[in-house]
A and B are shown apart, each in its own frame.
Chain A
Amino acid sequence: MIKRSKIQTAIVYSSAILLGLVLLCPVLWLFIMSVSSTKDLTTLPLSWIPADISFNNYISLIGDFDSTSAESFLYALRNSLIVAISATVLSLSVAIPAAYSLSRLPGKRRSSLLFIAIATFMMPPVALVLPLYSAMASLGLLNTHIALIAVYCGVLVPFTTWLLKSNFDAIPIDLDEAPLIDGANRLQIIWYITLPIAKPALGAAALMAVLMAWDEFFYALLFTNDIRAKTLPVAIADFAAGRVADYGLISAAGILATIPPVSMAYFLQKSLVSGLMSGSVKG
């Protein structure tokens, strides 16, 4: 441990607090908006503490099943969960063997393959959306989960492959050869050795994948048009698109939409701590 002076400690802590405030303020304001009445939100100047607090917005989103806002919100939640989880699971199950082979198996052409994959990941969505749209249309996949899952996998596979490959690269090659001698085949090596050691990276990749799929707006907006396939970002935008935007309702939906990814991050945080490698090969 490096000893820090009192002043240094104070600087470190005040910077951390400042950062926390900057990050949390919008969330806090979102929450305040979600429990305020429309009247409070339209009177100027705005106040931090609303005159009366009510959870009606939440009730109309998840409590009252007959309202249209609840219907569109709950369906969108379902769609988002299906799309995000399927896209993540699918892209990880492709990315793991791909990353392993890019990291471990010989052959010069492999690395250019990764480069091409990364290049497609770099392309802006607007460049791809038209051909994708007509392809989906002719396949009859518009307004389905499959369309979004396929598009998201196209984005997520290169990204997660690259993330996992750079982590596999850090695992010493001896840890592949030792199990080989012990009688393992490639799949067993990946399953028993590589993946457990790369667990933090795996957790990070899964989290990033879920977040990207969860937050994606552009493709979701264009490829879906009703509650059968609309995801949360699109549904929330719909709340704002009516004649009068109900800011309270939008905020409540926003708060609710953050709960699944935040809780996932919370449960994954234990596996995200690194330091698993210590003691394996000579220190």
Chain B
Amino acid sequence: MTALSLKNINKSFGDIRVIQNINLDIKPGEFVVFVGPSGCGKSTLLRMIAGLEDISSGEFWIGDRRADQLPASERDIAMVFQSYALYPHMTLAENIGFPLRLAKLPKDQINNKVQEIASILQLEHLLDRKPGQISGGQRQRVAIGRSLARDPKVILLDEPLSNLDAALRLEMRIELAKLHKQLEATMIYVTHDQVEAMTLADRIVILNNGEIAQIGSPLELYQTPINTFVAEFIGSPKMNLFPASVNEKKSQKKSIQIIGSNDEFAVDTNQHPPQELQTGNQIQVGIRPEHLVPSDTGKIKGTVTSTEQLGSDTYIYFDSDTIKQAVARINGVASIRPGENICFAVAHEHYHLFTSKGNRIKPTVL
């Protein structure tokens, strides 16, 4: 188990800055997930950690050793490629044993290790086959198996499940979580799928345009997203953002009113009087779909445009006065028709306040 540390890491391809000012400490044995929309630089960051891509500026440390100049082969970091990158001319046993063969281990030791890995990954009966003769899920296992061969302290995985179908993806996700517990290795996992991130991670690093938007545990990101990007990225369906205005109240307190509704609630700005809550400011109120509860006395009103029945849940899409295609998520089957008017109530602790630019405001909602 090894700690990794990234200090002020930058990466440019020509004039384009792809990674900007990344500061990140990864604890030994941690499962860290890099998540973000595609093109935000996740793979590039991972490849810099692996040593496949130079770092333009900044420092990278493995344990207490400066590693930005260390060649990939000397970092003791294993990697699972999105494309699997199996060696097509070798059998599965040779594929898994290849790192050990390069390390000049004796044949019988290689065989033992390959057998051990194959039994963890349930590949024993396939070891004599070539990659062309097995299924996608099995190839994925072989790729993971090869990364385990040298008992690496750090394992990097770049969207390892994105080529699998939904059922297999779920199965492999559970197995990966198990494997992480079993191996006690540090794992860095790249995905664009927030569900994978939420279910696997000890800590999630959300990237946007090459910068870290927020770092935190899955629940921290869900409960206190630092800006609207994170708020909309984490959670499915994504958070609704209603425009709102800041009003002055007599008793030195301020209230926030969601525009187009009579939903007005007081905030105590005494403890933290943020600039953003100046009277008259336009702000945004974020409400997660699962926190919108249909209620006849609810103050958020809209017209249902469509519904999606998932069996366990129902998604209700509605247009309010100010935003189109807002969505609410209701447990179980709800018999609501498009065209109906609907009202939702929201417990005030579920409000997320953001400035008009999208940064989180942290007042105490009363």
Q: Does A128 contact B (CB under 8 A)?
A: no
Q: In the complex, what distance in Å separates the CA atom of A51 from the CA atom of B247?
A: 118
Q: Does B102 contact A (CB under 8 A)?
A: yes
Residues 75-112 of chain B: 1 if any A CB is under 8 Å from the residue's CB, otherwise 0? 00111011111111100000000110011000000000
Residues of A within 8 A of B (CB): 172, 174-175, 177-185, 188, 192-193, 196-197, 199, 276-283
Is A196 touching B83 in the complex (CB atoms < 8 A)?
no
Q: Does B55 contact A (CB under 8 A)?
A: no
Output the least CB separation between A4 and chain B (Å). 27
Is B52 touching A180 in the complex (CB atoms < 8 A)?
yes
A183 contact from B50, B73, B86, Cβ within 8 A: B73
Is B86 touching A279 in the complex (CB atoms < 8 A)?
yes
Q: List 15 A-B contacts (CB under 8 A).
A: A172-B85, A179-B87, A180-B73, A181-B50, A181-B79, A183-B73, A183-B103, A196-B89, A197-B88, A278-B131, A279-B133, A280-B87, A280-B88, A282-B84, A282-B136
Q: Which residues of B are found within 8 Å of A283, using beta-carbon distances?
A: 136
Q: Which residues of B are found within 8 Å of A183, using beta-carbon distances?
A: 73, 99, 102-103, 150
Is B85 touching A180 in the complex (CB atoms < 8 A)?
no
Q: Which residues of B are found within 8 Å of A197, using beta-carbon distances?
A: 87-89
Q: Does B146 contact A (CB under 8 A)?
A: yes
Q: Which residues of A are found within 8 Å of B78, using beta-carbon distances?
A: 181
Q: Which residues of A are found within 8 Å of B83, using beta-carbon distances?
A: 172, 174, 281-282
Known A-B contacts A278-B132, A280-B84, A282-B163; A181 and B73 likewise in contact (beta carbons under 8 Å): yes
Contact count band on B: 20 to 34
Output the least CB separation between B306 and chain A (Å). 35
| 10 other A-B residue contacts (CB within 8 Å) besides A177-B85, A181-B52 | A174-B85, A181-B79, A182-B99, A183-B150, A192-B98, A196-B89, A199-B89, A277-B88, A281-B81, A283-B136
Q: In the complex, what distance in Å separates the CA atom of A280 from the CA atom of B83?
A: 8
With both beta carbons as reference points, the residue of chain B lying nearest to A275 in the complex is identified as: B132
Most chain A CB within 10 A, of B50, B72, B149, is at: B72
Q: In the complex, what distance in Å separates the CA atom of A278 from the CA atom of B135?
A: 12
Q: Does B323 contact A (CB under 8 A)?
A: no
Q: Does B130 contact A (CB under 8 A)?
A: yes
With both beta carbons as reference points, the residue of chain B lying nearest to A277 in the complex is identified as: B88
Q: Which residues of B are found within 8 Å of A182, using beta-carbon distances?
A: 73, 98-99, 102, 146, 149-150
Is B150 touching A279 in the complex (CB atoms < 8 A)?
no
Q: Which residues of A are found within 8 Å of B82, using beta-carbon distances?
A: 282
Is B133 touching A276 in the complex (CB atoms < 8 A)?
no
Q: Which residues of A are found within 8 Å of B79, using beta-carbon distances?
A: 178, 181
